[in-house]
Chain A
Amino acid sequence: MATPLTRRQFMQMAAITAGSAAVVGGLQGLLNLEADAVTEIELLPTAVSTTTLIPEKIVPGVCLLCPSGCGVLSRVVNGRLVKLEGNPMHPMNLGTLCPKGQAAPELLYNPDRLTGPMRRTGERGAGQWEAISWDEAVQLVTARLNDLRAAGHPEQAVLMHGEAPGQLKSFFQQFMRLVGSPNVISRESLNTAAAKLGSYLTQGVYNTPVYDLENSSYILSFGASMLEAGPVPQRMISGYAFMRRGRAERGKMVVVDPRQGVSGAKADEWIPIVPGADAALALGMANVIIRSGLIDPSFVGHYSFGYEDFPDETGTRLIQGFKNFVLENYNPEQVADITGISSTTISRLAGEFASNKPSVALLPGKGGLLNGTIGGVYTAMAIHCLNALVGSLDRPGGVLTQRYPEVPNWPQPADDPIAKQGCTMERVDGAGTQFPLAKHAYQAVAERILDGYKVDTLFLYDANPVYEAPGGNRFREAFEQVPLVVSFSSFMDDTAQYADLILPEPTFLERYEDHFIEGMGYPGVGLRQPTIGRQHDTLSIGDFFLQVAAAMGGEIAKAMPWHTYQGLLRYRLKDVGTDWDTMKELGLWLTPGYRFSRRGSDKWVQEVIGTDRRFAPRDGYFDFYSRELKCILDNQSAEQLADLGLAHINDTTYLPQYVPTTYAGSEVEYPLTVNVVTLMSLGPVSAAANMPTLQEISGMTVQETWGSWLEMNPETAAHHQLEDHQEVWVESPFGKVQTKLRLVAAVRPDVVNLPYNQGHTAVGRWAKNRGVNGVTLLDPQSEPISGLAAFTNTRVKVYPA
């Protein structure tokens, strides 16, 4: 047969020859290997209905292997969970599921899960434990909290937490408030707090903005690979795919990041910017947009504050506004040197951004915003100001504001002087005091305990600070000052191994919990429920604290009247719009359809602009000049400001600006900037490192598996005489690690990348002592004003091992 057959011709022929050729087909195949020849191969019928359907149960839930909170449907056969699928009704993932969610059975059935509550018997960290009962655990913690209250120091009970979805965050605050402690410390200072502060100081909303990618024509994404990491990667993927091929016109995407990553690879254009220079680029673009007259005059003119110069309170002096500040300081030629991007490119990007509406500039969840200076917060403000300049706030294809379902108030306790007194004490992380701008300063807790803040009982929920915080080893030292460390981890993780008491949580597939749907704008809530019976003797933290509250008695018990967390949820979700059974059946409830508000309307003032401002007026004006920041800093004394490095405070302090990154380590000795990147495969959750399937696929982009690697540009490697696959030391002023070098062309020559979530000292058989933890290389200092951790201002040197 000389010419290839079409499929159709082949099918016709095959149908004729099917029966007769069955027996000899295989042999003929062996003899006739001509590539395009169609041989008479056996065609067996596709078996029909030979399987009897196996009885199965489908249980809805919500994933928790990253913060997205995708809806899942668990397939349960014979009492065993065998598969997860995406819940098609859940707007976050629309029936799809990423590899972490797909691999979730390995979390549930992980052989290294802790099987029940236990108490330390040997030295801290010696690994000697005895099993205790949950009743004992409740009594122990109750006695502790009662003693603290009796001694008048309830603030010495501290709760550090990671992801606290749905009601849990509010429940933690309420429980600790009843005990009398202001110390509920969120991990957000390691990731999303910078973006939240950027939105807070400009728009007045302390939350990560929501982006309407489906309707955007132009997406400009700054830092932190939006399709892999960040607060809601699955939401970004859905939006991206729709923007590309779900509608008639394909949108454009530009990624600004020193590392290309998957997001840069999928973008139309990748801009490898100098690390930490994002603010300069954003303001350079603002300069071009303003000069070209491409701003949205209606928004900027009527619904913003501080764009034009304005008179001060006395009316005698003119304060420089955003426009003149940017025109004076950030023309593209000046910015080109800072960013490493040519002025023509900057001008072109500005033109494209302002004329391809609706366009939107995305804040990263982490990335360059955590660069150890207040410049990180300014960067977030500058990026968010781009959206304001082109009028993308609360517009289709622009920035949306997340709304939440209505929930009833917590029962109000009677007057409790001890609790009242405790709640007025300074927070252990220094948020609002040492760090005036911070809501949380997770990583600073260790340092402040070592500096003398007394902590008696430390609760750790989804918190593994020894591993995940820069300078994590300081937590081990700080624990020496803390009489009781309680971990709620399901695994013996890097931090739990130094705890005194471990009260393991059931996995997200075994417990009741809600999870707000964040990323669509409109209100919605997903519901977790037990998929199968509990695998081990575990208790969720909600159930545990409710039992403690009951045992403590008095006002606390009265204000926490529920016996189980499920009961609490039923109360808190009663106004969500449907009944409990429907929520259990669907796994979620939502009020779809984002309702845009007219600029200047009541809704605009109440819900879109300024809702979280504490000091500045909630007047519906977007702040190019941050009145909120001014109010916060005005509350500080001159000495305090000097301590914060703000001795020369002036009018421009409240405008977004570029602040050069101050690096730890000299450029001569440490020539490369290190970047710790979160992967789609392993994600942010420590337990995921102990899921063998995720280990196997961890390094897809460089074909590495079960370990760490260092990404370096081939030019840089040649300059340092290093080769691909070579074992190298990566050394910073704070530590050094040994790993394998991999050459990747799509990374800036002055930047190296290490993947996150390897190099655990514990967790389990597959995670322990595998690869290296890049976080140990990072500068442990907190940013003095915002309390943010520093992730991208550490330089390293790389040399052969």
Chain B
Amino acid sequence: MTSWAMVIDLDKCVACQGCSIACRFENNTPVVAPEQAQKGRAIRWNDVFPDPINPTEETGEYPFVRTRYLTRPCMHCVNPPCVKVCPVQATYRDEEGLVRQNYDRCIGCRFCTVACPYGVRYFNWYQPEWTPELAQHLSPDAVTGPGRSEGPAARMKGVVEKCTFCIHRLQKARAQAEAEGRDFRAADYVPACVQTCTAKARYFGDLDDPESTVSKLEQNPRAFRLLEDVGTHPKVIYLREG
């Protein structure tokens, strides 16, 4: 069985936010109004921020100031709290370990946004909007089916959205392999943030394959996961700095 996972090397990451914006254009996340952004309602499935978030806190006394940055996609937990609280199964975990979100089922109760300890679920407070000119760049990719609308597909006011590890890219890669009459390989598929990472700090692959890069990096002494103690078993593994 395949288990998709991501490794992020914080020693290489330079907090450029390329991942954030690659995600936006890959997945059609909207720009929210400035006032909404100030309230923390911006929708970037992979956000980059200082850690701690307030740069005056806990960073040490001048001149011995240590500043760190964190980049944060969905952790695609093995034990995802968001899935447990969803009353309508709008969010679910699929057989390859991706935690997914179906806009067609979502009723906007926001239980999941509260349950997620990582804060990576985003609510559409308003109808996403683009000027007619800008709407031209929206990606036509989508994951749709009867009663299903996921990934870059259009969403409406009142639904929750989240990082999918670019599931539509997985589908495209499989379809491409099929069209070429060959077997699908794990290397055929990377999410947009991994592809664009300016410092090549991101690695992606199958954690169930002991030979994969992510499996090997999981054994790295620098490896850790966010909030390991809450029992979510994240599939995003960080490598610490230094």
| Contact (A241, B201) CB under 8 Å given A10-B79, A41-B83, A85-B195 | yes
Q: In the assembled complex, which residues on chain B have CB atoms less than 8 Å from the CB atom of A727?
A: none
Residues B177-221 near A (CB distance < 8 A): 178-179, 192, 195-201, 207-208
The residue from A39, A49, A238, A703 contacting B50, defined by CB atoms under 8 A apart: A703
Nearest B-chain residue to A746, judged by Cβ: B65
Q: How far is the CA of A78 from the CA of B89 in the complex (A)?
A: 35
The residue from B37, B96, B137 contacting A106, defined by CB atoms under 8 A apart: B137
Interface segment, A130-138, A195-203, A259-267, A782-790? A259-267
Smallest CB separation, B193 vs chain A (Å)? 10
Q: How far is the CA of A331 from the CA of B198 in the complex (A)?
A: 41
* Contact B171–A103 (Cβ < 8 Å): no
Q: In the assembled complex, which residues on chain A have CB atoms less than 8 Å from the CB atom of B16?
A: 98-99, 227-228, 237, 262, 680
* Contact B231–A36 (Cβ < 8 Å): yes
* Contact A53–B179 (Cβ < 8 Å): yes
Nearest B-chain residue to A239, judged by Cβ: B199
B interface residues with partner A (beta carbon < 8 Å): 1, 3, 9, 11-12, 14-18, 20-22, 24-26, 31-32, 34, 37-38, 42, 44, 48-50, 53-56, 59-63, 65-69, 78-81, 83-89, 92-98, 100, 131-134, 136-143, 145, 167-168, 170-172, 174-176, 178-179, 192, 195-201, 207-208, 230-233, 235, 242
Can you list 30 pairs linking A and B with CB atoms under 8 Å apart?
Answer: A5-B79, A11-B208, A37-B231, A38-B78, A49-B175, A51-B172, A52-B175, A53-B176, A77-B139, A80-B137, A85-B195, A96-B198, A97-B198, A99-B17, A101-B18, A109-B133, A111-B134, A228-B16, A241-B201, A244-B11, A260-B67, A681-B17, A693-B24, A700-B15, A700-B48, A701-B67, A742-B55, A744-B55, A746-B55, A746-B59
Smallest CB separation, A244 vs chain B (Å)? 5
* Contact A109–B84 (Cβ < 8 Å): no
Smallest CB separation, B139 vs chain A (Å)? 5
Nearest B-chain residue to A747, judged by Cβ: B62
Q: How far is the CA of A713 from the CA of B65 in the complex (A)?
A: 11
Cβ of A719 under 8 Å from chain B: no
Q: How far is the CA of A51 from the CA of B68 in the complex (A)?
A: 40
Cβ of A240 under 8 Å from chain B: yes
* Contact B145–A700 (Cβ < 8 Å): no
Smallest CB separation, A122 vs chain B (Å)? 27
Q: In the assembled complex, which residues on chain A have CB atoms less than 8 Å from the CB atom of B136?
A: 80-81, 109
Q: In the assembled complex, which residues on chain A have CB atoms less than 8 Å from the CB atom of B84?
A: 26, 28-30, 32-33, 39, 41
| Contact (A745, B92) CB under 8 Å given A51-B171, A102-B25, A105-B25 | no
Smallest CB separation, B196 vs chain A (Å)? 5
Cβ of A749 under 8 Å from chain B: yes
Q: Looking at A37, A94, A234, A705, which has the most chain B CB atoms within 10 Å of its CB?
A: A705
Q: How far is the CA of A458 from the CA of B168 in the complex (A)?
A: 51
Cβ of A151 under 8 Å from chain B: no
Q: How far is the CA of A241 from the CA of B8 in the complex (A)?
A: 13
Nearest A-chain residue to B139, judged by Cβ: A82
The residue from A238, A705, A707, A744 contacting B56, defined by CB atoms under 8 A apart: A744
Residues of A in contact, count (CB < 8 Å): 102
* Contact B69–A262 (Cβ < 8 Å): yes
| Contact (A697, B207) CB under 8 Å given A11-B3, A46-B94, A103-B25 | no
* Contact A238–B198 (Cβ < 8 Å): yes
| Contact (A82, B42) CB under 8 Å given A29-B86, A241-B12, A700-B17 | no
* Contact B92–A42 (Cβ < 8 Å): yes
Residues A741-763 near B (CB distance < 8 A): 742-746, 748-749
Nearest A-chain residue to B132, judged by Cβ: A111
Q: How far is the CA of A706 from the CA of B31 in the complex (A)?
A: 11
Instruction: Digitize A86-117: 1 where CB-to-B-CB distance is under 8 Å, 0 elsewhere.
Output: 10000001111111011101101111000000
Nearest B-chain residue to A43, judged by Cβ: B95
Q: In the assembled complex, which residues on chain A have CB atoms less than 8 Å from the CB atom of B79?
A: 5, 10, 36-38
Q: In the assembled complex, which residues on chain A have CB atoms less than 8 Å from the CB atom of B65?
A: 260, 270, 745-746
Q: How far is the CA of A110 from the CA of B199 in the complex (A)?
A: 29
Smallest CB separation, B229 vs chain A (Å)? 9
Smallest CB separation, B238 vs chain A (Å)? 13
| Contact (A237, B143) CB under 8 Å given A46-B170, A82-B138, A706-B34 | no
The residue from A36, A238, A272, A693 contacting B63, defined by CB atoms under 8 A apart: A272
Cβ of A25 under 8 Å from chain B: yes
Cβ of A245 under 8 Å from chain B: yes
| Contact (A696, B53) CB under 8 Å given A102-B21, A109-B136, A237-B16 | no
Q: In the assembled complex, which residues on chain A have CB atoms less than 8 Å from the CB atom of B24?
A: 102-103, 693
Cβ of A248 under 8 Å from chain B: no
Q: In the assembled complex, which residues on chain B have CB atoms less than 8 Å from the CB atom of A86?
A: 195-196
Smallest CB separation, A413 vs chain B (Å)? 44
* Contact A41–B134 (Cβ < 8 Å): no
Instruction: Digitize A17-50: 1 where CB-to-B-CB distance is under 8 Å, 0 elsewhere.
Output: 0100000011111101101111101111111111
* Contact B37–A4 (Cβ < 8 Å): no
